[in-house]
Amino acid sequence: MKKDNFIDPILLEKESFRDERGFFKETYRKKWFHDIDNSDFVQDNLSFSKKIGTLRGMHLQKKPFAQSKIVQCLNGHILDVVVDLRKKSKNYLKNYSYNLKGEDNFILYVPEGFAHGFITLEKNTLVTYKVNNYYSPKNEISISWKDPVMNITWPLTEDEITLADKDLNAPSLDEHNLNF
C-alpha cells in the first residue's frame, strides 16, 4: 500500500448481508481508513446517471483544496479510473481502472493528487463518494478524458459516450500547472 511515502489507490471489499428482502451493508466506517488516511471526510457527493456511457471526469482539485475520495457504486455498474499526477511518485501518470457494481461491496480509496473519473456501464447508475476537502469551483481541474498522456482505455467508443460541456471541452494535462 504505502510505497515511497506515497499511497496508491486501494480497493477494499467489505461484507454485505443478503436475504429474501434484499441486502444490508456498511458503506463507511472511519476505522477502515485509519491507517490509510485519517482525514475527516467532510462532504458526501451523489451522482445519478440515466444512460450507459455517461462519462464524468477526469477531475481533481488544486492544493490547498486537494481531495482524497472514497468511492462506491450503489446501483448499476461503472468503470472507475484514476491517474497518478504526483510528479514525485514512481507511478506518475500510471492509470488504474476498477469495475464497481452496486451488487458488490467494493469501496475505492483515491488519494490526493489523482485525477478521477468514471463511465457508466448500466442504466440508472448511482455513485457516491466522500471527500476530505470541500468542493472549490475555482480550484477544480478538468482534464480531457481522452488525453493521450494519461493513456486511458475506455470500454466504449467516443460515439457511445455522453459528456458534460466541461468534460467535452476540458484541456489536456500539459495545459495545467499541477503541484502534486
Which active-site residues does the annotation give? 59, 129
Query: Which amino acid is located at 51 in the chain?
Result: K
Structure-block grid coordinates of residue 76:
448499476
Distance, CA of 91 to CA of 84 (rounded, Å): 6
Angle at 90 between CA 170 and CA 127, to 5 degrees: 45
E-strand stretches of the chain: 2-3, 6-7, 10-13, 16-19, 22-25, 43-49, 55-61, 69-75, 77-84, 95-101, 106-110, 114-120, 125-131, 140-142
Structure-block grid coordinates of residue 83:
491517474
Structure-block grid coordinates of residue 63:
492544493
Q: Would you say how long the chain is, in residues?
A: 180
Structure-block grid coordinates of residue 42:
467532510
